[in-house]
Amino acid sequence: MSVRRETVDLSKADLDFLKKIVESGGEKILLCVQCGTCSGGCPAGRRTAYRTRQVVRRSLTGLKDSVLSSQDIWLCSTCYTCLERCPRGINVTDVILILRNLAVQAGFMLKSHKDVCTYLLRTGHAVPITDKYKALRKELKLPELPPTAHSYPDAVDEIRRIASKTGFDKLVGFEG
């Protein structure tokens, strides 16, 4: 039986966290009445511990650490069902994306996601072509490489330069 402090001290709530969400385009969450329509229709919520409504409540309460460190916010498939049905017109999906941005800034990022960034920065594609598929393209009478960044290395340079300008490369720990 583990015994520890359960009471949340509301005076320690991080209201700057809420302010940041509001300023990034999430101002409508202030209207939330916790009706649960979002969680009620969430496909991920039906099969995991992710509760959309609760993430919003925790954000409104300023529980920054618990929200940003949790895996829950990464279980959303951005299907937009919650945003469509919310009776207060809250852009719930957009709020989840804002929280994800803040989580990444705070250093919470899955390795598998970092890998996808590596593919993008190395090839310009999140899902780069492989030999198997080059052969398939050839079989289907297409040029082996599509006319995308795969065929133009300078395009990859452009992407790297953008990523450097925005600081994306450092953000995701890209090592070149």
Partner 1 sequence: MSGMRFGLFLGCIAPNRYPGIEVATRQLAPMLGIELIDLPRAACCPAPGVFRSFDQTTWLALAARNLSISEGLGADILTICNGCYGSLKEANETFKEKPEKLAAVNEILKETGRTYRGTIQVRHIAEVFYKDTRIEKIRSIVKKPLGLKVAVHYGCHILKPTKHRGIDSAERPRFVDELVEALGCESIQYKDRMLCCGAGGGLRTGALDVSLDMTLEKIRNVHQSGADLIIDICPFCHLQFDYGQIQIRDSQKEYYAIPVLHYVQLLGLAAGLDPKETGIYANFVPADQIIKKIGM
Partner 2 sequence: MCEVTGCLSMGEDGRVGVFVCECGGNISNEVDVEAVCKAAQGWDGIIVAKSCPYLCSKPGLDLIQSLVKRHNLNRIVIAACTPRMHQATFARAMKNFGLNPFLLENVNLREQCSWSSSGGKDAATRKAISLVRGGVERVRHLEPLESSWLDVEQRFLIIGGGIAGITTALELANQGYQTYLVEREPSIGGHMAQFGKVFPTMDCAQCILTPRMVEVGRNPNIKLMTSTEVVSITGGPGKYHVKLFRKPRGVDPEKCTTCGACSKVCEVEVPNEFNMGLDKRKASYLMFPQSVPLVYTIDFGHCTKCGKCAKVCPRKAIDLQDEGKFVEVDVGAIIVATGFELIDLSKFEEYGLGVHKNVITALHLERLLSPFGPTGGYLRRPSDGGDVKKIAYVLCAGSRDLNRGVPYCSRVCCMYSMKQAQVILDAFLDTQVTLFYVDIRSFGRGFEEFYQRAQEKGVKFVRGRVSEIQEGDSDGRLIVRAEDTLLGVPVEDEFDLVVLCPALVPSQGTTQIAEKLSVPLGEDGFLMEKHPKLDPVNSLREAIYVGGCILGPKDIRDTVSEALGAAAKGSTFVKAGKIELSPEKASVNKELCNGCGDCAKICPFEAITVVDGRAVVDSLKCLGCGACVPECKVNALTLHNSTDQQLFGLIQGVLAEKTDAPVALAFLDYDIAYNAADLIGLARIKYPENVRIIRVPTTARLGKKHILYAFAMGADGMFLGDAHMGAGPLSKASKITEKRLTEISEALDNSGIDSLRLWFSAVYIPDFRKLASTFTNFVSTIAEMGAIDENVRRKILKEIGPTP
Choosing among partner 2, partner 1, none, which partner's interface includes residue 31 (Cβ < 5 to 8 Å by kind)? partner 2
Choosing among partner 2, partner 1, none, which partner's interface includes residue 44 (Cβ < 5 to 8 Å by kind)? partner 1
- Contact mark string toward partner 2, 38..57, x via CB under 8 A: xxxxx--xx----x-xx---
Helix (H) or strand (E) holding 97: helix 92-105
User: 45 or 62, CB closer to partner 2?
Assistant: 45
User: Exposed, middle or buried, 21 (CB in 10 Å: 0-12/13-18/19+)?
Assistant: buried
Distances (CA, A) of 26 to 51, 73, 82, 97, 161: 18, 15, 14, 10, 29
User: 33 or 140, CB closer to partner 2?
Assistant: 33
Residue 87, number of CB atoms within 10 A of its CB: 10
When asked if residue 33 is in the footprint of partner 2 (CB under 8 A), the reply is yes
For partner 2, which residue of 88, 113, 161, 170 counts as binding (CB under 8 A)?
A: 88
User: 55 or 159, CB closer to partner 2?
Assistant: 55
Look at the chain and count its residues: 176
When asked if residue 8 is in the footprint of partner 2 (CB under 8 A), the reply is no
* DSSP letter (8 states) at residue 130: -
As a whole number of angstroms, the distance between CA 153 and CA 158 comes to 9
Binding positions for partner 2, rule: CB under 8 A: 31, 33-42, 45-46, 51, 53-54, 81, 85-89
